[in-house]
Chain A
Amino acid sequence: MAVLLALVVAVMLVGGGIFTLLAAVGVVRLPDVYTRMHAASKAGTVGSGLMLIAAGLHAFDFAILARAFAGFVFFILTAPVAAHLVAKAAHHAGYRLSRHATCDEMRDHTKK
């Protein structure tokens, strides 16, 4: 039982670490601020969430698991708001989409 728990915790920790690393790589590799927010908000949330829950499971204590879970929930609540605000501010400041972009209906709408 203890071995099984340790295995689950190990897999979640490594998985979370990989997701977080890929989120960071994404922020470097993706072409503009909007696509970067995709990497930071999604992979980042899931990565930190996995690691938080793994820490909670490892402690094997309701109080710590509950707090880890609460942390994950707050992450889910706040990460999209942050990504949304950064993207909105960038668009207001006139930051263009990357040259791969196919459409920008928001610019079309605000121009009218």
Chain B
Amino acid sequence: MAAIVTGLIFAIVWAAVTGSLSPLNLVLGFLLGLFALWIIRRDFAGTRTVVRPWKLLSLLILFVKELALSAWRVAVLVASPKMDLKPGIFAFPLKVDRDIEITLLANMITLTPGTLSVDVSDDRRFLYVHALDCSDPTAVRRDIADGFERKILEALR
């Protein structure tokens, strides 16, 4: 069942990338999607990911908003004659522990205002984040934990 839904999503993406919505092309995309899933079947055998569509949508909206805001902030910072920087790298203690969640969180952190993920510690307990304004790391940590991390946990668990 999950494979069928994923296959349908892949078919739509395939139609978008090839630029043709004809039924035959959609069927081809669907079959290719199933084939791709079959190739990587071992990598997600046994892991069940629950996806809550509305929570995922709310995460997406938050992300687009933050992305626009972050581009604006960087642009303003770069354009201002005197750049006021207090950069630094802080460690963010991870509550999420699965690959997909960590990847999602790291990518979202990079595209939000003033933060850039640099590395995950070997024991996967910390995410090292570079911040343009690291004068108050506690506040930034709280923002990420209450914002993206909580939303990711809500959407995928």
What is A's interface to B at a CB cutoff of 8 Å?
18-19, 22-23, 25-26, 29-32, 34-35, 37-39, 41-43, 45-47, 62-64, 66-67, 69-70, 76-77, 79-81, 83-84, 87-88, 91, 97-98, 100-107, 109
Q: Is the interface of B mostly helix, strand, loop or mixed?
A: mixed
Q: How far apart sit A79 and B74, CA to CA, in the bound complex (Å)?
A: 15
Q: Nearest residue in B to A18 (C-beta to C-beta)?
A: B75
Residues on B facing A (Cβ under 8 Å): 13, 15-17, 19-21, 67-68, 70-71, 74-75, 77-79, 83, 85-91, 106-107, 110-111, 114, 116-119, 121, 126, 128, 130, 132, 134-135, 137
Whether A106 pairs with B86 at a CB distance below 8 angstroms is no
Other A-B pairs, 4, CB within 8 Å; known A39-B74, A83-B116: A45-B111, A84-B107, A87-B117, A105-B91
Please name all residues of chain A whose beta carbon is closer than 8 Å to the beta carbon of B20 when the two chains form the complex: 63
Q: How many A-B pairs fall under 8 Å by CB?
A: 147
A98 touches B87 (CB 8 A): yes
Whether A30 and B83, one on each chain, are in contact in the complex, defined by CB atoms closer than 8 angstroms, is: yes
In-complex Cβ contact of A87 among B111, B114, B118 (8 A): B118
Q: Which residues of B contact A79 (CB under 8 A)?
A: 110-111
Bound-state CA distance A81–B110 (Å) is 9
Chosen A-B contacts, 11 in total, with CB atoms closer than 8 Å, are A34-B87, A42-B111, A47-B71, A64-B19, A76-B111, A80-B106, A87-B117, A87-B130, A100-B85, A102-B135, A106-B119
- Given A38-B114, A105-B128: A19 in contact with B107 (beta carbons within 8 A): no
Give the docked Cα–Cα distance between A51 and B116 (Å): 24
Residue from B16, B79, B134 whose CB has the most chain A CB atoms within 10 Å: B16
